[in-house]
């Protein structure tokens, strides 16, 4: 049985989700539509063969919306996650106080993700892809979506990033308790 905190995301390859979850975020929906058209054109021009997209709206709450896109092209799978508020894209560091608190939050999330991966897939080399993909850096940990009702964050990894490639896409969840002590006022209003 799969551990609740770590999910292999086989359900992502179902039919695309309805856009209804983004009704309150027209700029986000328009951005995603334009990005999809551009990615499709670029991949087809590069000879990637048939290109298939799966779009899933996630974590719509507290004035925020998250979206996960899975792209299949040229025998590869790519995952793109994005979170927006009414004004535009939101980075993970927005929810934490600057300085040491932010660094500690990123370190706590990184340690949690690495522990999940080790339990599920075994130890990883110190400088291998898993360590790079889960480094405590806001740019590295940018492929996230919000869990419903402020329950935490889901981090999305393409095949081979944090597990053997044949394991497929991986979703690792970090419950709010893992980073709650480091949340700023905005973060405390969103995450419970």
Q: Residue 163 to residues 5, 48, 99, 184, 191: CA-CA distances in angstroms?
A: 15, 24, 31, 32, 28
Q: Residue 69 above 60 pLDDT?
A: yes
User: Across the chain, what does the average pLDDT equal?
Assistant: 87
Burial of 30 from C-beta contacts in 10 A (0-12 / 13-18 / 19+) = exposed
Find the length of the chain: 192
CA quadruple 5, 185, 132, 42: dihedral positive or negative? positive
Domains of the chain are 6-190 (3.90.640.20)
Confidence of residue 15 (pLDDT cuts 50, 70, 90): very low
Q: Where are the beta strands (DSSP E) in the chain?
A: 6-8, 51-61, 64-73, 76-85, 88-89, 144-146, 152-157, 170-175
Placement of tokens 């944090």 in the chain: 162
**What percent of the chain has pLDDT above 70?**
90
**Token output for 99:** 């300085």
The reported pLDDT for the residue numbered 149 is 87
Write down the pLDDT at residue 152: 95
Helices (H), the chain: 26-45, 100-121, 129-133, 185-190
Q: How far apart are CA 52 and CA 14, in angstroms?
A: 11
For residue range 145-189, list pLDDT tens digits in order. Answer: 999 888 999 999 999 999 999 999 999 999 999 999 999 999 999
Q: How would you classify residue 125: left for phi > 0, otherwise alpha for psi between -120 and 50, otherwise beta?
A: beta
Q: What is the CA radius of gyration of the chain?
A: 17
Residue 191 has pLDDT above 80, yes or no: yes
């Amino acid at each position: 049985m799969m551990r609740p905190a770590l999910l292999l995301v086989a359900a992502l390859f179902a039919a695309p989700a309805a856009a209804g979850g983004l009704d309150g975020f027209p700029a986000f929906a328009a951005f995603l539509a334009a990005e999809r058209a551009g990615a499709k054109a670029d991949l087809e021009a590069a000879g990637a063969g048939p290109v298939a997209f799966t779009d899933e709206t996630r974590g719509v709450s507290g004035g925020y919306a998250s979206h996960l896109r899975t792209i299949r092209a040229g025998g590869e799978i790519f995952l793109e996650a994005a979170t927006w508020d009414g004004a535009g894209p939101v980075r993970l560091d927005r929810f934490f106080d600057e300085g040491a608190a932010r660094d500690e939050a990123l370190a706590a999330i990184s340690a949690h993700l690495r522990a999940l991966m080790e339990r599920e897939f075994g130890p990883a080399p110190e400088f291998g892809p898993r360590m790079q993909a889960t480094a405590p850096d806001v740019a590295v940990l940018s492929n996230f979506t919000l869990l419903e009702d402020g329950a935490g964050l889901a981090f999305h990894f393409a095949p081979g990033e944090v597990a053997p490639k044949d394991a497929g896409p991986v979703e690792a969840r970090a419950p709010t308790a893992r980073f709650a002590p480091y949340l700023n006022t905005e973060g405390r209003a969103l995450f419970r």
